[in-house]
């Protein structure tokens, strides 16, 4: 039987490198891998269904399930997951010293209400610190004025105050100037990268806070997953298992690089104390700290689905078992 020719759009991750270089191949599939930045991938997939398989923001996929004929089916592969305490930035002159000080403030959110990083940040702030998601006013727009993505806007719920910033404004400059008090962003704003004393993180010791969060909850936040066009899936259901096995094998190949002796790792990666980081992570998170599959991720998936619903982004609470092809 001839192999099925499929396109995969996914960013250039270590855990997908073996798929890109062909050292791991999905059974029965000739996979053409495209290295595209996530925001571009999402736009092209959501608007045009341009790829057979793609990385997709978790919030886009969950929202797509509300359609009469959902356009995608997900497999339990998670190419991006990041702790999100580090995604909360503040103006250092705003008087915000603790999470509860955010209540009643002006908070920036990139592009639209419903950004993946903001969903996790809001949920954690609510669960852990008693900051309701609707206790601030959200100012939405680009981080910088030149970068605009005016597509797939999510209508905010009636109890959430959202204001769109002007066409020449950018959230980073507004935060540095004190025009907004805080920013929930997956991307570190330029003002922080440039060392501005006017902008910092709410949790300055975010690594320690995030490690404590994982120790208490066992949750490593999931941000992106992998989806298949439903039309393709309905015609060739076997591709889901074939792709899942290949993604897992590629991740296992990446994991082997980190398990090599220290000298080999430092030949491959420019990160000081990488061996120490690996040992510390293994003690806290176990040998498979980036698991694929449904059951090892059920708690994180359930948490995101609850946050998505509580924040008014889905009309009903979607269950994990209706979320994925597993």
3-state secondary structure 17-40: HHHHCCCCCCCCEEEEEEECCHHH
Residue 310 phi, psi dihedral angles, 5° rounding: -60, -30
What is the reported pLDDT for 273? Answer: 85
pLDDT in tens, the chain (326 residues): 689 999 999 999 999 999 999 999 999 999 999 999 999 999 999 999 999 999 999 999 999 999 999 999 999 999 999 999 999 999 999 999 999 999 999 999 998 999 899 999 999 999 999 999 999 999 999 999 876 565 555 678 999 999 999 999 999 999 999 999 999 999 999 999 999 999 999 999 999 999 999 999 999 999 999 999 999 999 999 999 999 999 999 999 999 888 775 566 677 778 888 888 889 999 999 999 999 999 999 999 999 999 999 999 999 999 999 887 65
User: How crowded is residue 283: how many other Cβ atoms within 10 Å of its Cβ?
Assistant: 8
Which residue has tokens 């293994």? 282
Counting every residue written for the chain, the total comes to: 326
**Secondary structure of residue 109 in the 3-state scheme:** strand
CA 184 to each of CA 122, 188, 196, 294, 306: distance values in angstroms, whole numbers, following the listed order: 9, 10, 17, 28, 19
């Amino acid at each position: 039987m001839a192999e099925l020719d499929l396109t995969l759009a996914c960013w250039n991750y270590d855990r997908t490198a073996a798929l890109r270089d062909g050292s791991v191949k999905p059974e029965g599939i000739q996979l053409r891998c495209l290295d595209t930045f996530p925001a571009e991938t999402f736009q092209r997939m959501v608007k045009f269904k341009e790829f057979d398989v793609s990385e997709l923001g978790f919030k886009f996929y969950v929202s797509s399930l509300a359609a009469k004929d959902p356009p995608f089916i997900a497999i339990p592969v998670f190419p991006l997951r990041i702790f999100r305490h580090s995604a909360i930035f503040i103006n250092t002159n705003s008087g915000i010293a603790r999470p509860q000080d955010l209540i009643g403030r002006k908070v920036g959110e990139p592009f639209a209400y419903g950004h993946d990083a903001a969903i996790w940040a809001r949920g954690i702030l609510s669960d852990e610190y008693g900051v309701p998601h609707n206790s601030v006013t959200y100012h939405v727009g680009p981080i910088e004025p030149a970068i605009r993505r005016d597509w797939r806007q999510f209508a905010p719920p009636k109890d959430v105050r959202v204001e769109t910033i002007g066409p020449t404004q950018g959230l980073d400059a507004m935060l540095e100037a004190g025009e907004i008090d805080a920013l929930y962003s997956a991307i570190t704003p330029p003002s922080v990268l440039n060392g501005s004393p006017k902008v910092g993180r709410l949790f300055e010791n975010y690594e320690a806070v995030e490690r404590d969060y994982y120790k208490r909850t066992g949750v490593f936040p999931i941000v992106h997953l992998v989806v298949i066009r439903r039309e393709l899936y309905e015609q060739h259901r076997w591709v889901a298992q074939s792709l899942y096995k290949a993604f897992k094998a590629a991740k296992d190949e990446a994991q082997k690089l980190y398990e090599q002796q220290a000298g080999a790792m430092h030949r491959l990666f420019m990160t000081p104390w990488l061996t120490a980081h690996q040992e510390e992570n293994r003690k806290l998170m176990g040998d498979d700290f980036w698991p694929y599959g449904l059951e090892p991720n059920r708690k994180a998936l359930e948490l995101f689905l609850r946050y998505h619903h509580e924040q008014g982004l889905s009309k009903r609470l979607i269950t994990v078992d209706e979320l994925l092809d597993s």
